[in-house]
Amino acid sequence: MHDFSHSKILVVGDVMLDQYWTGRAGRISPEAPVPVVKVADEEVRAGGAANVALNIAALGAKAHLLGVVGEDEYARQLETLLSESGVSSDWAYSSSGTICKLRVLSHHQQLIRMDFENRVPAEPARVLADKVAQQVADYDVLVISDYAKGALQCVEPMIAAAKQAGVPVFIDPKGTDFSPYRGATLIKPNQGEFEAIVGACGQTEALVEKAEEALNELDLQALLVTRSEHGMALVTKTEKPYLLKSQAQEVFDVTGAGDTVMAALATGFASGMSLQNAVHLANQAASIVVRKVGTSTVSKAELDEAIKASMRHQGYVAMNEDELLELVGLAQNNGERVVITNGCFDLLHSGHVRYLNEAAKLGERLIVAVNSDESVQMLKGPSRPIVPLEGRMELLSALSCVDWVVPFNEQTPERLICKLKPDVLVKGGDYRPEEIAGSQCVWQNGGAVEVLSFWQGYSTTNIVERIHEAERQESLDE
């Protein structure tokens, strides 16, 4: 997985506050044929361009948001949400106030939405364009998120300023006229928005053909059409069309899904991914966010896990400690029992495999902590390991029983085990549980410590000795 922490993305567009009132609808109103909702919970979330910025920050990148708000309580709530998630912001203020959308839900179903909004006047929109021109050169990508609320009336000078600074421009468009976005790097309409411009596309071939025409007409480098259950279609000037199937298995709510797609796309590209790989990342992010209710974000750990699950047949699932810590928390929150074991695993053999299969049966997730090359040398001597750390990790993670592989540098994994707080600690051999490194931490957290017997007749040392004996015999025969 890419490291997104060095990516800097400037987001500009229509910002809004999303309010959610949730409760039980137990009866019909006597005043009108509508359900009566007894509100039990209230929540506010950042919407529009602000949701794009939050999704970028959730992936670990740096997001700075420019938008138009009023000097009101909605803006103050929005500012709090952003700052708590590490998103910096800079506002143009307007007498039109801050846009707010209130949704009333019951049993995970939206019953009604009420919008509190006025179109942004021309002057704040000009101020916003000036802010983009002043700041865009400091960022890797400019994201323009258009919800047709008026903040982007001056989008053309924003694009021009970014192009002059050599900064790619990714746009989530709105409306029936894409000409204001001329010269952008990429625009991302959904299929309905695209067909409103070019007409019904029917088959994929027709969509690709019309997308290629739009590229030339609008002087774009790429056009990404999101197609709901049909996935995504990326059309560029230099590559063959790239078509992806949807990864979503269940869809609860598509609110804000386009924001998540744009955030993942821009973050991936800003980190150095190719456009195709960034689209793949965005497709995976969409498959996660549509399983959540309301405007939501996708964390890097969730995205990493989804990608690893989709690529699990390729086997390589090694990671660093901080990524693993978040994934362990997600698994435990989902009711999964996390098992950990450790070892050198130098010259992986069938005894190791049998042991790991037994360990995996003790829970839903198996972590294998692997000694680094330096710690193996401390334990086994200067001639070991025979297989370097990267190779040992790759072989282990190719096993179907292994979920996550992580290295450690110390002679024992006690520090790592205490950090991860697994549900079960497993060790093979003739240990007593209290002798196993990390056992006290596991017990203190309510976990279990298990000792499994090694399979007799299997040993890396014996394999090495047999190899040496064969080499000696071969030398004598010569």
Active site residues per annotation: 259
Query: If residue 82 lies in a helix (H) or strand (E), which one and from where to where?
Result: helix 73-84
Angle between helices 257-270 and 275-289 (to 10 degrees): 150
∠ Cα 132 284 391 (to 5°):
110
Q: How far are the Cα atoms of 156, 304, 316, 426 from residue 213, in angstroms, in the given order?
A: 21, 35, 40, 60
Backbone angles phi, psi at 419, to 5 degrees: -75, -40
Task: Report how far residue 123's alpha carbon sits from residue 311's, in angstroms, rounded to the nearest whole number.
Answer: 50
Regarding beta strands 109-116 and 99-106, do their DSSP bridges make them parallel or antiparallel, or are they unpaired?
antiparallel
Picking from 387, 378, 379, 316, the residue whose alpha carbon sits closest to that of residue 346 is: 387
> Contact at 8 Å (CB) between 162 and 169?
yes
> Contact at 8 Å (CB) between 368 and 398?
no
In 298-445, alpha helices (H):
300-310, 321-333, 350-360, 373-380, 389-397, 414-420, 439-444
Non-local (6+) Cβ contacts of 447 within 8 A are 421, 422, 423, 424, 425
> Contact at 8 Å (CB) between 98 and 181?
no
Place of tokens 């029936």: 176
Task: Report how far residue 408's alpha carbon sits from residue 438's, in angstroms, rounded to the nearest whole number.
Answer: 13
> Contact at 8 Å (CB) between 171 and 188?
yes
User: In 10 A of CB 409, how many CB atoms?
Assistant: 14
Task: Report how far residue 231's alpha carbon sits from residue 215's, in angstroms, rounded to the nearest whole number.
Answer: 20
With 0-12 CB in 10 A as exposed, 13-18 as middle and 19+ as buried, what is 68? buried
Non-local (6+) Cβ contacts of 295 within 8 A are 18, 45, 46, 47, 51, 255, 256, 259
Picking from 41, 53, 72, the residue whose alpha carbon sits closest to that of residue 13 is: 53
Q: How far apart are the first and last CA of the chain?
A: 50
> Contact at 8 Å (CB) between 46 and 15?
yes
And the tokens for 30?
């006597």
